[in-house]
Amino acid sequence: MQQPRHRIRRHRHPIALAGATALVIAVMATASSNLPAPSRASAGPSAAAEDSPLGACRITAAMGVQMSEGMPTAPGYARSTGRIKALNLMIDFSDAPGSGTAEERLAEFFPQTSQWFRTSSYGRLTYLPEAPVKGWLRMPLPFAEYGIERGSPYEPGYRDLVKDLVATADPKVDFSAYDLVNVLVTPNAGPSALDTVLSVTFSANEDAPYADGVPLANTSFVYSRQDDGSGSYVETGYRVLPHENGHVFGLPDLYTMEGGGSVGHWDIMSEDWGANNDFLGWHKWKLGWLDNEQIDCADRTGTSEHTLGPLATEGGTKLAFIPLSAETGYAVEVRTPDGNDAAVCRPGVLIYKVSSDVDTGQGPVSVADSTQDSGGCTRQPNVHAELSDAPFRPGETFTDRANGIRISVLGKGTDDNYRVRVTRP
Ligand SMILES: [Zn+2]
C-alpha cells in the first residue's frame, strides 16, 4: 500500500520549566506515588553527570532547548525505570459516541505496549497499565467544541478537555496513584490518522490541571487508528503509544518537517508506523536502560578500538560515543533484526550524530548513510527506505573530514559482535 501522505506530526510539549516550586511538585508527585524498584541504571533523569567517568560523552542540554537529547533529562518527566503505573482513560463525545467498547480500544494498545517497553529496556521498565473505568467516559461537550486540531496548543482546548476529564473520572480514579496518563480517544473523533495525526503528548507540564493533589503533567492523547491498510494494523498499530510515552519520559521527536529522513526507522521517536522498531542506544542510555559500563567514551586524541554487541540483546558494551563538543557527538551501535527491531534488513554498525542543542522536531539526531542514494533494502510499508541500509559493514569507514573523525568497521565476530576503530584529533 502507498504510504500515507500526511504523516508528519506536530507534538507539542509545553515545558516552560519556569518555577522551581512547580518543578519540585512535579517530581514529588511522581516519587510519592511509587516505590522506585531497585535499579542498576546509572543514567536517567536523576543521574549525576558530575561524578561520571563518561562526563565528556554525557553531552548536556543546551539552554533554550525545549526537549533535548542532552543528559540528564530535565526534571518533571516520568521516571523511566522500575515499575511505572499508567492510567488509561477511554473517552468519547456526544458527536463521536464510542466506536466498539472501551475495553476493545484499550486492547488495541495492550499488552503490546508493556511488552515493547520490557523488551526495549531489557526488563528495566515494568509498565503497568490500569483502566479503573471500564467503559467510555463521556465528555460534557461535543468533540468539535474543544477545537482540537493537529498542532493545537494546550490552551485552551486541551486544558478544557483535561478539566472535563478530571471532573468526569475523579469519582472513580485516584490520579495520584499513577506516573502517566494515556487518554485513548474513541477512534471516530477527529480525522483519520491517514489524513492528519492528532495524537499528541504534553509532558513535564506542571501547569496542567490538578487532580487528587497532582498535576496531570505527563499525558498522552491517542486519536484515530494508524491503519495504513497494509494489513499490519493488528500487529503494529499500537506503536503510536510507545512513541507518545517516549515524550513522557523526556525524548524528543526525531522526524522533522521533511519527514523521517534524518533517522529513518532506527528509532520509534522517528517512525511509529509500520514494522516494529526500537530506540537508539543513545535513548536507552538516556532513559537509564544502559549502564555507564556499557558505554565506551572515545574522548581521547588518537585511535581507539571498541567491540560492540547487538543493541537488541542484554548485557555487554552497546554504544561507543565520540564527543565533538559539549553539545554534539557521534554515537556508534550495532543493529540486528532482533528484539523490537523487526525491520532491520542490513545488520551492521549504525552511526549517528546527536545534537543536544537541536530541539524536538528540528533534527536532534541524524543517521549517517553508508550507502547514499541506494534506495534502501526494505520492502516494508511505512519504513523509510533510503536509510534502511544505512549501517556500515566490515571494511567500510565513516569519515567526517571537517572534524577529523574516522570510524571504521574492522570485522564481525561471534554473536554479532562488531569491532570498530575510531580515530579522532
Ligand atoms: Zn512525537
Report how far ligand 1's centroid is from the alpha carbon of 203 (Å).
11
Q: How far is CA 179 from CA 78, 284, 349, in A?
A: 6, 19, 35
34 touches 179 (CB < 8 A):
yes
Choice between 151 and 141, residue whose per-residue pLDDT is larger: 141
What pLDDT, on a 0 to 100 scale, did the predictor assign at position 231?
87
Report how far ligand 1's centroid is from the alpha carbon of 260 (Å).
12
Report how far ligand 1's centroid is from the alpha carbon of 221 (Å).
11
Alpha-carbon Rg for the chain in angstroms: 21
Q: Do 235 and 355 sit in the same domain of this protein?
A: no
Q: Residue 410, SS3?
A: strand
| 410: pLDDT strictly greater than 90 | yes
Q: Do 325 and 401 sit in the same domain of this protein?
A: yes
Report how far ligand 1's centroid is from the alpha carbon of 306 (Å).
33
Report how far ligand 1's centroid is from the alpha carbon of 270 (Å).
8
| 2: pLDDT strictly greater than 60 | no
Q: Do 207 and 82 sit in the same domain of this protein?
A: yes
For the beta carbon of residue 287, count every other beta carbon within 10 angstroms: 26
Residue 203 pLDDT level (bands cut at 50, 70, 90) = very high
Residues of the chain above pLDDT 70, percent: 88
Q: Could you tell me if residue 37 is inside a domain?
A: no
Q: Could you tell me if residue 183 is inside a domain?
A: yes
Q: Could you tell me if residue 10 is inside a domain?
A: no
Report how far ligand 1's centroid is from the alpha carbon of 201 (Å).
7
Q: Could you tell me if residue 214 is inside a domain?
A: yes
| 26: pLDDT strictly greater than 60 | no
Report how far ligand 1's centroid is from the alpha carbon of 372 (Å).
27
Mean pLDDT of all residues in 267-283:
97
Q: Do 221 and 324 sit in the same domain of this protein?
A: no
Residues of the chain above pLDDT 90, percent: 83
Report how far ligand 1's centroid is from the alpha carbon of 282 (Å).
17
Least confident of 6-15, 57-66, 172-181, 370-379: 6-15
Choose one of 248, 272, 298: the last residue of a domain: 248
Report how far ligand 1's centroid is from the alpha carbon of 253 (Å).
5
Give residue-wise pLDDT tens across range 88-111: 999 999 999 999 999 999 999 999
Report how far ligand 1's centroid is from the alpha carbon of 130 (Å).
23
H helix or E strand, kind and range, residue 87: strand 82-92
Report how far ligand 1's centroid is from the alpha carbon of 242 (Å).
10
Report how far ligand 1's centroid is from the alpha carbon of 153 (Å).
14
Report how far ligand 1's centroid is from the alpha carbon of 39 (Å).
27
Render the burial of 359-372: b for 16+ CB within 10 Å, e for the rest.
bbbbbbbbbbbbbe
What pLDDT, on a 0 to 100 scale, did the predictor assign at position 329?
98
Residue 54 pLDDT level (bands cut at 50, 70, 90) = confident
Q: Do 164 and 96 sit in the same domain of this protein?
A: yes
Render the burial of 394-420: b for 16+ CB within 10 Å, e for the rest.
eeeebebeeeebebbbbebeeebebbb
Residue 356 pLDDT level (bands cut at 50, 70, 90) = very high
Mean pLDDT of all residues in 221-247:
94
Report how far ligand 1's centroid is from the alpha carbon of 243 (Å).
6
Choice between 49 and 234, residue whose per-residue pLDDT is larger: 234
CATH of the domain at 237: 3.40.390
Q: By residue range, what is the domain housing residue 388?
A: 281-424
**Residue (of 142, 153, 179) closest to 33 by Cα position:** 179
Least confident of 8-12, 35-39, 218-222: 35-39
Give helix 240-248 / helix 112-120 axis angle, nearest 10°. Answer: 60
250 touches 259 (CB < 8 A):
no
Angstrom distance (rounded) from CA 403 to CA 392: 19
Number of domains comprising the chain: 2
Average pLDDT over the chain reads: 89
Q: Do 199 and 289 sit in the same domain of this protein?
A: no
Give residue-wise pLDDT tens across range 302-318: 999 999 999 999 999 99
What pLDDT, on a 0 to 100 scale, did the predictor assign at position 95?
98
Render the burial of 199-215: b for 16+ CB within 10 Å, e for the rest.
bbbbbbbbbbbebeebb
What pLDDT, on a 0 to 100 scale, did the predictor assign at position 17?
29
Q: Do 311 and 376 sit in the same domain of this protein?
A: yes
Q: Could you tell me if residue 255 is inside a domain?
A: no
Q: Do 237 and 328 sit in the same domain of this protein?
A: no
What pLDDT, on a 0 to 100 scale, did the predictor assign at position 52?
58
| 349: pLDDT strictly greater than 50 | yes
Choose one of 204, 229, 248: the last residue of a domain: 248
What pLDDT, on a 0 to 100 scale, did the predictor assign at position 238?
97
Q: Do 183 and 96 sit in the same domain of this protein?
A: yes
Q: Do 232 and 285 sit in the same domain of this protein?
A: no
Integer distance in angstroms from the first to the last C-alpha of the chain?
A: 48
What pLDDT, on a 0 to 100 scale, did the predictor assign at position 63?
86
| 134: pLDDT strictly greater than 60 | yes
**Cell numbers given for 18:** 519556569
Q: Do 95 and 236 sit in the same domain of this protein?
A: yes
Q: Do 96 and 199 sit in the same domain of this protein?
A: yes
| 47: pLDDT strictly greater than 90 | no
| 150: pLDDT strictly greater than 70 | yes
Report how far ligand 1's centroid is from the alpha carbon of 200 (Å).
7
**Residue (of 393, 388, 140) closest to 277 by Cα position:** 388
| 413: pLDDT strictly greater than 60 | yes
